[in-house]
Structure 1
Amino acid sequence: MSASIARHTGEPPAGPLGPEPVFTWHATGALWFDAVVAAIERAETTVDLEFYIWSPGRLAGRLHAALARAAARGCRVRLLLDTFGSEHAGPAVIIMRQAGIEVSWFNPRRWARLSFRNHRKLVVVDRRHALLGGCNVADEYDGDGVQNGWRDLGIGTHDPACVMALARSFDRLWAMAPFDRLPGAESMPEASRGEGWELFVAGAGRGGRRYRRCLHRDLASASQIDVLAAYFVPTTRVRGLLRRAARRGRVRVIVPVMGDVPLAHHASAHVLHALVPSQIQVYQYLPAMLHAKLVIADDAVYVGSANFDPRSLRINFDLMLRIQDPQIAAQARDIVAGIQSHSARYLCGHPGLLARWRQRAAYAAVAWLDPYIARRKLRLLS
């Protein structure tokens, strides 16, 4: 399997160009969106996109212009936005529709369905090129996380089978956007696989069981584990797997020094406080918000939109791509090393009683209450 990595500088590799890489890392949000716009500008027939957040600003305007040009060339352009995450995109949607762009809202907000959001970030062009990762369409994602903006990452693929699996996954979610009922197993399969890769699809009622089983298996056998997590609230079982892996080898976890969601940040602090006495190496990214979602377990790499928390594992609609390849894993670890160079070792100290109670309450809300409410609401949709 050939591979390529988009370096922090974005400079092209020296020497003659070889065959187009099967998978290409984009190590920052700015590089990922550069690749997205370039792919849209080359589109000949179709452009399919889905995002959780579409926020008015410079980046949204840049993508809007590229999509409008693609539509003017005769491409069919479809944009799927989550109703909750993209609540401020209404005026832009009107203009995009006037430009020939088809826009659909996922899961219009009603109380019984409010918990179930489309958290995926995916672009498929001509059904030959796909890009996925953690980036939303908001100006803070269009940066390098050091000089400007947040730190995020993504990956692109030209693998025909992988791209087609992603395209079909988009088609299924586009068809069920009104979310009037839960998707059946036949209409939303949990996984697809090909040579060296496996695609996991999680969603309300589907639960991501295949993803959890595969992740648990990799963590149970790996001796070198790296985790980048915007919201780090692993289950009790996963915490045990990480502790045992740290005794076998090395486990490195990097989280943001300050999260953008206070409840999740306090819940994560509760978990980190318990992990620090173990041999797990925990770091906090200092320059900006770290929004990346990446797990490396020996030669297996997981990248996509799912956070390391119960909501992504059991409630949200999310995508995670698993790639089994030593070169891809080595390149991913290069990215992690670069992020670690801007991080400091986490020292939990001795938080006061009030802080500890706040962290415990936040953990209970994120790990138990949120999934419980979601399960209750699922019964109303069944």
Structure 2
Amino acid sequence: MNIELSQIIGYLLPAFVWIFGIGITARLAFKKQAVSVTLAWLLIIFMIPIFGIIAYLILGEIKLGRRRGESFKKLAPLYTEWFSSFDQCSNLTLSNEKLRFKPLFALSRYRVGIPCVLNNELHILNSAENIIQTMIQDIEQAQKSIYMTFYIWSDGGLVNDLTSALIRAAKRGVRIQILLDSVGSKHFLGSRNYRYLLDNGIRIEEALHANLFRMFFRRVDLRQHRKIVVIDDNISYTGSMNMVDPRYFKQHAEVGQWIDIMVRIEGPVSLILQGVHSWDWQMETNEDVALLPQCPLLQHKPDDSHGVQILPSGPGFPQDLMTQSLLLAISSARHSITITSPYFVPSSTIAESLATASIRGVEVKLILPEKNDSFLVEWASRTFFDELLEAGVKIYRFENGLLHTKSILIDSRLALVGTVNMDARSFMLNFEVTMIVDDLRFGQEVEALQTGYLAQSSLMDAHVWYRRPIYKRFFERLFFLFSPLL
């Protein structure tokens, strides 16, 4: 009796779907993760089984891949010990007892081993021209090393000027190494300028190479999202801006120019940022990296003495680290919370924490872009507006471009600035970095920045929002179902 191929497939396919469906359901039941993420996956798998199963096999597990996973585990004790060694530098570290928001610093210190480092001078740069021109000035003065990590590197405009400065630095003997994300910088990594930099002695490594043929063995959407520049071990930058000139970047998206900041840091915490870069570099290249002296001599007395704690996060780091840190920061607020984020799809826990803070009398402000380059995120974020507006949270829509700055200011004093968006991707999937500063003077700088954003924003009218059409509510709820996976 001959059985046609179609009949065999007709028998086997339902069996495979059933076996994989049961297996994945069991895996989800025993996996430690947010309930919302588990429910979202179960919904997808049972509503569209074949697509859902394939999607889970590709995207459901946070897998660095065998080589990177083993490298991370091997390097973690080495770097954790080196970070912790800063505690031995009595002139550089600040004990938790002297910090007003000491539980947050204690949490970060305990989970990643990085202490709060003193004697740093911090200044916010809030325009692309100022950021890149200041970097160029520092690059022109570099004598021994320049280390960079970026998600996106895109040629054009001011970036070409910075590239020229890097080539001049390389020709006078400065060691330069640049780590770029495979997806975010894919156009640059295939360009003539990329090869030109290599030909001039600048080392460039591709982070988290995207390979569709290996998608069942490691996640293809884990991304290197950090933005770090360290020059001569003492000057550094971190913040939200990719290496792009916004006048030339994503103009087709019709969201206006991207609005970003970088914080220029002068002081010993630059070594911590260099350590984060070196860890990522070593994980990609398997090269031995000579760690820097544990107690560096201060080159000069800074004008300010900001204490800064660097908080790296991402695959391999404690998975709930960012969520715990944000919840602790929000719960510590007594007077005010102001948040800027381009992508606002937080967990229900964080949204509830913001609503609760508002109910207990804290003035909570969200500054979000009016137009977003992500259609799915824009619709999913609106789901939280009802709950937040009802609790008294003030939601402002920035109207003068895509506000890409990621900042949180608590009580005009505690500042969290870096690369982390308020979404599940930043909390769990991307390699990110955040700087935490408990300092009134720097808090005033962040407050002045956010006040400027508010002047370019419109306050949402809760009564108008509640009267929006039913079809909009439908799409908000539909995309919200996928929010843990965005």
TM range (shorter): 0.7 to 0.9
Instruction: Give aligned pairs, total.
Output: 332
Q: 2:202 aligns with which of 101, 106, 120?
A: 101
Counterparts of 2:285 and 2:469, CA distance in 1: 46
Q: Residue type matched to 2:259 in 1?
A: R
Task: List aligned pairs for 1:269-280, cutoff 5 A.
Answer: 269-280=382-393
Shift of 1:55: 1.6
Name the residue aligned to 2:354: 242
Say which structure is richer in helix.
2
C-alpha distance after superposition, 1:155-213 (max 9, x if no partner): 111121x111000110000111269xxxxxxxxxxxxxx97321111111324534432
Query: CA–CA distance in 2 between the matches of 1:164 and 1:208?
Result: 24
Q: 271, 277, 281: which is aligned to 1:170?
A: 277
| 1:226 corresponds to 2:338 | yes
Q: Quickly say closer, same or farther: Cα 1:241–1:141, change in 2 above 3 A.
A: farther
Q: Give the C-alpha shift of residue 29 in structure 1.
A: 3.0
Deviation at 1:81? 0.5
Query: Secondary structure of 1:302's match?
Result: strand
Q: Which 4+ residue blocks in structure 1 deviate beyond 6 angstroms?
A: none
Matches within 5 A, 1:23-172: 23-89=122-188, 90-91=190-191, 92-110=193-211, 111=215, 112-140=218-246, 149-160=257-268, 162-172=269-279
Tell me the CA shift for residue 31 of structure 1.
Answer: 2.1
Q: CA deviation at 1:61?
A: 1.3
Contact 2:356 2:391 in 1 (8 A): no
- 1:352-371 → structure 2 map (5 Å cutoff): 352-367=469-484, 369-370=485-486
Equivalent residues of 1:224, 1:297 under 8 A apart: yes
Distance 1:208 1:62, change over 3 A: farther
* C-alpha distance in structure 1 between counterparts of 2:391 and 2:130, whole Å: 36
Q: Which residue of 2 aligns with 1:379?
A: none
Q: Which amino acid aligns with 2:444?
A: A
Give yes or no for contact 1:231–1:309 (8 Å, CA) kept in 2. yes
**Do the aligned partners of 2:125 and 2:263 also contact (CA within 8 Å) in 1?**
yes
**Cα deviation per residue 1:207-264 (whole Å; 9 max; x = unaligned)?**
4534432321121020211101111112111112211222322111100001111111
For residues 38-65 of structure 1, the C-alpha deviation after alignment (integer angstroms, 9 at most, x for no partner) is 2111111101111111122223312211
CA contact under 8 A between 2:124 and 2:264: conserved in structure 1?
Answer: yes
**Residues 1:304 and 2:418 are matched in the alignment:** yes
Q: CA deviation at 1:283?
A: 0.2
The answer to whether the Cα contact below 8 Å between 2:336 and 2:363 also exists between their aligned partners in 1 is yes
The Cα shift of 1:150 comes to 2.1
Structure 2 residue identity aligned to 1:122: I
Is 1:320 equivalent to 2:459 in the alignment? no
Partner of residue 196, structure 1: 307
Alpha-carbon distance in structure 2 between the residues aligned to 1:25 and 1:195: 13
Q: Who is 2:84 aligned against?
A: none
Per the TM alignment, residue 308 of structure 1 is displaced from its structure 2 partner at its CA by 1.0
Kept in 2: contact 1:134–1:292 (CA 8 A): yes
**C-alpha contact (below 8 Å) 1:106/1:178 kept by paired residues:** no
Q: Which residue of 2 aligns with 1:17?
A: none
CA drift at 1:142: 8.5
Q: Distance in 2 between matches of 1:75 and 1:271?
A: 49
CA contact (8 A) 2:157 2:248 kept: no
Q: Is the 8 A contact 1:107 1:113 kept in 2?
A: no
Distance 2:319 2:200 in 1: 37
Contact 1:283 1:344 (8 Å CA) reproduced: yes
For the residues of structure 2 that align with 1:241 and 1:351, how far apart are their CA atoms?
25
Q: Is the 8 A contact 2:139 2:169 kept in 1?
A: yes
Give, in whole Å, the separation in 2 of the partners of 1:164 and 1:21: 11
Deviates more, 1:287-296 or 1:27-36: 27-36
Distance 1:238 1:34 in 2: 37
Q: Report the CA distance between 1:84 and its aligned residue.
A: 0.5
Contact 1:224 1:250 in 2 (8 A): yes
Change (3 A) 1:273 1:63: farther
| Runs of 5+ consecutive residues of structure 1 not aligned to the other structure | 2-19, 180-193, 371-382
Change (3 A) 1:55 1:361: farther
TM-score normalised by structure 2 residue count: 0.65
Pairwise CA RMSD of aligned residues?
2.2
What secondary structure does 1:260 align onto? coil
Whichever residue aligns with residue 37 of structure 1, its letter is I
Provide closer, same or farther for how the CA distance between residues 349 and 56 of structure 1 changes in structure 2, counting only shifts above 3 A.
farther
The code of the aligned residue for 1:97 comes to L
2:408 maps to which of 295, 305, 309 = 295
Hey, what's the Cα distance between the residues in 2 that align with 1:78 and 1:363? 40
Cα distance change of structure 1 residues 158 and 215 upon mapping to structure 2, 3 Å threshold: same
For residues 247 and 384 of structure 2, what CA distance do their matches in structure 1 show? 26
> Structure 1 CA distance, aligned partners of 2:154 and 2:477?
32
Match of 1:375 in 2: none
